[in-house]
Amino acid sequence: MKTQNTVFNDIQKHLESLEFSVEYRNTGNIETVGDGIVQISGLSEAMMGEIVEFKDGTTGMVINLSERNVGAIVLGNYLNLSEGDEVNTTGNIISVRASYNLLGRVVNPLMQPLDGSGRVEKSRSDKDMPIEKIAPGIIKRQSVNTPLQTGIKAIDSMIPVGRGQRELIIGDRSTGKSAVAIDTIINQAKLNREKKAKKVISIYVAIGQKQSKIVQVVDKLNEHGAMEDTIIVCANSSDSVALQYLAPYAGCCLGEYFMEKGEDVLIVYDDLTKHAWAYRQISLTLRRPSGREAYPGDIFYLHSRLLERACRLSDKEGGGSLTALPIIETQAQDISAYIPTNVISITDGQIYLEPDLFYQGIRPAVNIGLSVSRVGGAAQIKAMKQVAGKLRLDLAQYNELSAFAQFGSDMDDISKSKIERGKRLIEILKQPQFSPVDLSSQIIQIWSVTHGYLDDVEVADCPAKTIEFVDVVKTKVEKLSDILKSKEGINEEFEKKLIGLAEKYFKKN
């Protein structure tokens, strides 16, 4: 316990050690204020992305430099600002303080907590990460070679996602886009609890969403014990466009911080359509020339520079990875609109969710024909490749034949059997929300359908039968997970065992 005297002595020492210094400032004055955007005269030394300080302590970020004035977005309440107010440069480029203490927290893009759990504790490992950063170059990267399990059968088997990949989730409103992303986060938390597993940190960036939706997401993540490995960065629809514009970059900074420490990170941008809207609003208020759909000319670069930061670092750089799952909302299933085509071309594949499938009860409503993973195949484990190799083809054949069968024409036995097999495949790939399936179960379930063991089972009974069969295999085969994850995959010996178990089980039942 310090006595009063020691406290005074400490203060005196502190004051004696202080040096009165000269502070240099580059100053300007507000010309116009509107919709969170200010035009400032002066500030001849302002830098792009620099933080500027207004008279009332509010800060802003320089976003436009021109000969006559400087454009800035206000990172706070702009209602107190008025024409003629003094503005000072700070010499600091906008950055956010990344920290392990942010795990489990809900913060805004400036890392200010929104969850009512107090301040984010400081620690020695904290680091200021610049919001705008050039993506790692070729030398620093390695190719995607490790799978990131989403726990969703349709995705892990046919559209696999690898660590460091950018996989777009695209679809109309209310087709389950966010659900796919949330399920993936929940699955990471589930896998993190396994022994020997390399932890995956999840970051969920909510852009322009309703606050009620964020509350639901937090509740669901808490319910499934996933919040402790997750950070939620949110700029709601009621927040300024400046914060909505910054949110994905701020989230990406956090991801990079963990990635540089050798961690595997999953980041969800929900959604980039609203991000593009926010940027369009900023650009129009700044009077930048508008192009197609009134978006500015650099709308492609807005998303490409963000998504290019997702990568898998080489072992020399720590081997960390940043996997990005951007979400895009389409209007009336138009994936050839401006922003969707931009993001499709930037990412390494897309998961297309179709409303028709959704309303038919096929959930997740993944359209296999339009969905693709360009690099994930390299990251898929051998056992999954072995069982899922034919899956896409079988489903494509089913879709074609079932469309033909609608005309009521007679079909040959082979076609009929393909349709029956397809029905069972689709039934097996259906999955309720918030119930990720482990890899071993996925492989066994798909194997049992593709090998025809469910051909004699009623379609509606297929899911229950396969789950029971998985339990049988798990009790009869020791170290099932190790076998399936081995480089050999499903070898002859294991397949014989599996066939034996399947024949015994499906004959009996």
Cβ at position 56, least distance to another protein in Å: 14
Contact call for residues 416 and 196 (beta carbons, < 8 A): no
Closer to another protein by Cβ: residue 22 or 460? 22
Residue 22 DSSP SS3: coil
Q: How far apart are the C-alpha atoms of 392 and 158, rounded to whole Å?
A: 7
DSSP string computed for 469-483: HHHHHHHHSTTHHHH
Cβ at position 16, least distance to another protein in Å: 12
Residue 302 DSSP SS3: helix
Instruction: Provide the pairing of β-strand 200-207 with 264-270.
Output: parallel
CA 195 distance to own-chain centroid: 25
Tokens linked to 93: 């480029």
Q: How far apart are the C-alpha atoms of 287 and 78, rounded to whole Å?
A: 19
Closer to another protein by Cβ: residue 85 or 438? 85
Instruction: Provide the pairing of β-strand 106-107 with 230-235.
Output: parallel
In degrees and rounded to multiples of 5, residue 193 shows phi and psi of: -80, -10
Contact call for residues 313 and 142 (beta carbons, < 8 A): yes
Task: Please state at what angle helix 211-223 crosses helix 177-192, rounded to 10 degrees.
Answer: 30
Instruction: Provide the pairing of β-strand 59-65 with 69-74.
Output: antiparallel
400 burial (CB, 10 Å; 0-12 / 13-18 / 19+) is middle
1 burial (CB, 10 Å; 0-12 / 13-18 / 19+) is exposed
Q: How far apart are the C-alpha atoms of 299 and 284, rounded to whole Å?
A: 12
* Cα four-point dihedral sign 168, 170, 175, 178: positive
Shortest CA distance to 181 belongs to which of 140, 209, 152, 158? 152
Residues marked active site are found at 374
Task: Please state at what angle helix 462-476 crosses helix 492-508, rounded to 10 degrees.
Answer: 130
> What is the contact surface with another protein in residues (CB under 8 A)?
15, 18, 20-28, 42-45, 88
Q: How far apart are the C-alpha atoms of 116 and 164, rounded to whole Å?
A: 33
Closer to another protein by Cβ: residue 85 or 317? 85
In degrees and rounded to multiples of 5, residue 454 shows phi and psi of: -100, 5
Contact call for residues 38 and 64 (beta carbons, < 8 A): no
Q: How far apart are the C-alpha atoms of 489 and 484, rounded to whole Å?
A: 5
CB atoms within 10 A of CB 141: 16
Cβ at position 36, least distance to another protein in Å: 23
Shortest CA distance to 504 belongs to which of 448, 458, 461? 448
